[in-house]
């Protein structure tokens, strides 16, 4: 399924977000998209320098800002309730990230954003890779 406004920019494959990025500093594993910089944990064996893509699973994305992690800002595009999972779709520069929040007894008081809200999310460096 293509998950961007223009076909081929970003895709959600099974349980993996794939986002086209630009290499900023390969030796430091830095990439960028939409003016935001991300440090990747590793490069895949079949890494494509011509068309690099950031890969990160929806459950690795967390709400808010965290020092020392990859921090991004976007806008809530949609909210879907899937039983005990809430899937947020966060738009950044025309690309959509899928983010899964697992609702359990500890998150009953969690306040979810609304469609159109600005939204901060973060994920650990070792939770993403470049393919």
Residue 17 above 50 pLDDT? yes
Whether residue 126 is contained in a domain is answered as yes
Domain of 31, in residue numbers: 11-130
Question: Could you give the CA distance from residue 33 to residue 9 in angstroms, rounded to a whole number?
Answer: 11
Cα distances (Å, whole numbers) of residue 27 to 20, 39, 42, 67, 130: 19, 11, 11, 22, 13
The pLDDT mean for the chain works out to 87
Question: Could you give the CA distance from residue 4 to residue 55 in angstroms, rounded to a whole number?
Answer: 15
Whether residue 4 is contained in a domain is answered as no
Q: What is the pLDDT of residues 46-87, one digit of tens each?
A: 888 889 999 999 999 999 999 999 999 999 999 998 888 899
Whether residue 2 is contained in a domain is answered as no
Q: In the structure, what pLDDT confidence band is assigned to residue 5 with cuts at 50, 70 and 90?
A: very low
Residue 13 above 70 pLDDT? no
Q: Are the CB atoms for 111 and 88 separated by under 8 Å?
A: no
Per-residue exposure over 49-80, b if at least 16 CB sit within 10 Å of its own CB, e if not: eeebbbbbbbebbbbeeeeebbbbebebbeee
Whether residue 47 is contained in a domain is answered as yes
Whether residue 121 is contained in a domain is answered as yes
Q: What is the CATH number of the domain that holds 35?
A: 2.40.50.140
Total domains, the chain:
1
Whether residue 89 is contained in a domain is answered as yes
Whether residue 15 is contained in a domain is answered as yes
Whether residue 124 is contained in a domain is answered as yes
């Amino acid at each position: 399924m293509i998950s961007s406004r223009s076909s081929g920019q970003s895709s959600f494959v099974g349980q993996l977000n794939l986002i086209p990025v630009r290499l900023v500093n390969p030796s430091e594993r830095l990439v960028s998209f939409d003016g935001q910089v991300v440090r990747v944990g590793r490069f895949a064996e079949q890494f494509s320098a011509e068309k690099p893509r950031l890969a990160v699973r929806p459950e690795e994305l967390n709400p808010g800002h965290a020092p020392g992690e990859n921090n991004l800002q976007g806008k809530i595009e949609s909210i879907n309730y899937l039983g005990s999972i809430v899937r947020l779709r966060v738009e950044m520069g025309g690309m959509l990230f899928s983010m899964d929040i697992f609702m359990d007894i500890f998150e009953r008081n969690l306040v979810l954003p609304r469609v159109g809200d600005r939204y901060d999310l973060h994920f650990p460096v070792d939770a993403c890779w470049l393919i």
